[in-house]
Amino acid sequence: MNLNKTKGSQVQEHDNLKAGANNSNQTNMEKTVLDLTLRQEPHNPQCGFGREVLREVYYRIKVPYYTYTFGYTKDEEKVQMGEKNTKKFMYEVVNILQAAGWTLVNTEWQKEHSGSCPQLTKNNQRLYCHPQNISGEIKADEVDAIAQLFTEAKTFKHYNTDNYRDIIVTTNTDDELLLYHQMRDSVARKVLEELTTTKRRNLYKSEGSIEYRLVERIRIDTKRAGKIYNFDKVEYAYANEIIEKAKADGWLVTAKGRNNMPLVRWANKAEQKKLLAA
């Protein structure tokens, strides 16, 4: 530490530190606003741009003696009672839902010690019937009606309903990619800039890790119409589009690292000035 600093230099240093702190606070605030923009607005039927929006729901239930099947007790009578009650629950919940228009899509649970549970669908809706939670994607206006179906159950007791994320139904890969453009084009490039900005022009980041982190920030909760699960990974195709467009426009500078690893960084201020002047 220099003890011979003049009063003026000390004041200047204080002002510089204060300015740096203010810039840091502003950056953190911008990141928070960006994250809020990226987050899907909860329980908003308009968030899918006209597409069907389902809600992830967990109906919390209790099946008598079910927990004794976990292997925590040597009381064989209670274990057998738990297994018997579990099987009764599965048949009853399937009957209840089928009577309400749901379709059973698996039968493995009917076998002894299968370890699986009934799964039913109704159009794009889905319910997985576990002895502790009946969960799946449901139309928002049917959540309470389904809970009402369980009030007369004999083999289990429904005691709570938890609502989680909204899930947008897409028709195919192209439709889902279009959804990403509709919901993310206004912010994805800003997120990419935030992830790839470095303090030095010779400091780069792995393009693979950037793509992964970009996907984590922009991912939309979706479900493919007519399918129980969706493995198409459209979010990666969209992230790749954003990255390649930024490269083509000159905002994302590329290099090669060890073993030809693709590296990227965002254009620095001098490079941005040239791009804007072009």
Question: Residue ranges per domain, the chain?
Answer: 53-169, 171-277
Question: CA 256, 273, 19 angle in degrees (round to 5)?
Answer: 95
The residues, any chain, with a CB within 8 Å of residue 220's CB and separated by 6 or more, are: 40, 168, 179, 180, 183, 184, 235
Q: What is the Cα 62 distance to its own chain's centre?
A: 28
**pLDDT value of position 105:** 96
- Which pLDDT tens digit goes with each residue over 161-196? 999 999 999 999 999 999 999 999 999 999 999 999
Span 53-169: which CATH code? 3.30.70
> In one letter, which amino acid is 48?
G
pLDDT for residue 74:
74
Identify the pLDDT of residue 14. Answer: 47
H helices of the chain, in order, are: 7-38, 76-99, 143-149, 173-184, 188-196, 207-218, 234-249, 269-277
Specify the residue for token string 């002894």: 112
Range 171-277: architecture per CATH: Orthogonal Bundle (1.10)
- Which class for 57: exposed (0-12), middle (13-18), buried (19 or more C-beta within 10 A)? buried
pTM: 0.79
The first and second tokens of residue 167, run together, are 């899930």
**Of residues 87, 77, 92, 83, the one with CA closest to residue 158:** 92
pLDDT at site 168: 94
Q: What is the pLDDT of residue 113?
A: 80
pLDDT computed for residue 10 by the predictor: 47
Residues of the chain with pLDDT under 70: 1-47, 71-72
Q: What is the rounded distance in angstroms from the CA atom of residue 128 to the CA atom of residue 137?
A: 9
Question: In whole numbers, what is the pLDDT of the chain averaged over residues?
Answer: 87
Token pair belonging to 268: 């620095």
Question: For position 27, what pLDDT does the model report?
Answer: 54
pLDDT of residue 9: 46
53-169 and 171-277, same CATH topology: no
